[in-house]
Structure formats: structure tokens, C-alpha cells
Amino acid sequence: MSKSVLITGCSSGGIGYALAQSFQRRNLVVFATTRDLSKMVGLKDLPNLHLLSLDVTDPYSIADAVEAVKQVTGGPLDYLVNNSGRGYWMPALDTDIEEGKRLFDVNFWGPLRVTQALSPLLVAAKGTVVNIGSINGYLNVPYAGIYSASKAAVHVLGETMRVELAPHSVSVLTIVIGSIDTGLHNKFPAPKLPSNSLYTPLEGKVQDSAQARDFIKRQKPEGYAEEVVTDILAGKTGKIWRGKNALKTRYGRILLPMSVQDHILVAHSGLKDLVKK
């Protein structure tokens, strides 16, 4: 039987959707998942591609997906791609703690829940876990602190899992993605600052950041997906940096003084104007 892959977060227009298409073109059995199946209708007629409803925050939904995979593969799963993600942009002092917990439930606990549930299938196949990280996990981007913290946590979790799963012949690959045009910024309403916020004059800047109205050039997910699938199928492990601005971030954070990094990241945030006021 062909090798198999399960991908979380495959809504149309995003990274998971493009990954599902790329894996399918390379003759893998693909399990494309998202909470709402209607968001994957463009994939439904592709051969060897199975659409599954999966909420990474719901253990029962995850258990149903595990059983669905077993029914098709007979037991093993070769690749798991933890791609589901949630966004949240807000100054740290104005963060809604409950909203922050919901973000971590998807971005951090979700990959761990899914990996735990699928681990027997991955061990049976001597498979690979792929965690989708972000350059935000290495950058102090104003208003993105909670999202960035969740991705930094994914990086640490992935590298720890790599060491822990090695004795069971399961590989772990963490992909630090760069600037990709995924539509993530458009899935939630523009943030509204609380009435007592210290950043009220910058509400427009916060909203610009949340809606990706900025100077950053982003790569289309299709090209990124092709590169990443090549990496996965080549057996790469550890941590790799892929996508626009990924390598700039990797080396810039090492070579540039912190003051220069701060200047670049703060330049369009309005924070310098707030200091003057």
C-alpha cells in the first residue's frame, strides 16, 4: 500500500490545503482534516484523498479520526503533519487570557493531543511527525506576543519529541515557516482594544497587524508546500526553515544586534510615536 499522511488544518487557501494537494500528487494516501468539511470541498474528488472532520481540541473527534485512518490503512500511519493554527493579535497588557488559552489549545495542546492519539500508528510505521512552527516564535513582533509564544512552545516541544521518539524509530521534523499568504489573518474580526488600554492611539496599528496590512511580502502556499513535501519525503528531521523571510530571520537573529532587530520590528507598529506622545 502507498504511504499515508494525515494533515490537520486543511481549509481552502491555507498551508494544509496546499500540502494535501502536493502529497496527493506524489501518490500518497492523504487524510485531509479540518473542523468544517465544507472548507475542503475542492479536494473531495481527488483520488486517494480522504476528508475527515477533526477538531484538534476535542479528544472524541481525534479518536474518530484515528479509527478512520485505521480503517483505510489497516493500522500504520507514515506521516502526521500538525498544521492547525489559530491567530490572535493584541498588546500583551490587553490580552484576553481566555482567548489566549483558546489559542494555545489549538496551536500547542492540539498538536500534542493528535500526536499522542496517533502515536501507535506512527510507531507501527516507523513514521514521522511534522510540526509547523513559525518565524514568529523567534521574533518579538509587537501585538503578536501570544501567537508567537505558542509557536515558540511548538519549537521546543518538537525538538523534545524528536529525542524522546528516536528510540521508537519515529522521526520528528519541526518546520519554521516564514511569511506565507494563508488567509489566517482574515479568519477573525479586527481586534478591539479595551477602553482603558495604554495603546488606544495605536488601535489602527494593532488592527493593521492583525489583518496583515503591512509591508511584509508573503509567499503563496502552493510553492511553499512543494518545497516542504520534498523535505518530508526526503526524510529530513530536526528543525528546518522554509518560506519567505525564514532564512533572513534565522541568520538575522544571530548576526544583528538586538537594537537593530527591535528597530526593524517596531518600525511600522506606531510604538515610537506613542513614546513621543
Radius of gyration of the chain (CA): 19
C-alpha cell at 71: 480503517
Contacts 24+ apart (CB under 8 A), 146-153: 146/88, 146/90, 146/92, 146/95, 146/100, 146/103, 146/104, 147/87, 147/88, 147/89, 147/103, 147/107, 150/103, 150/104, 150/107, 150/108, 151/107, 153/104, 153/107, 153/108
User: Residue 122: enclosing H or E segment and its boundaries?
Assistant: helix 110-125
Q: Which residues are catalytic?
A: 147, 151
In angstroms, the CA 178 to CA 224 distance is 9
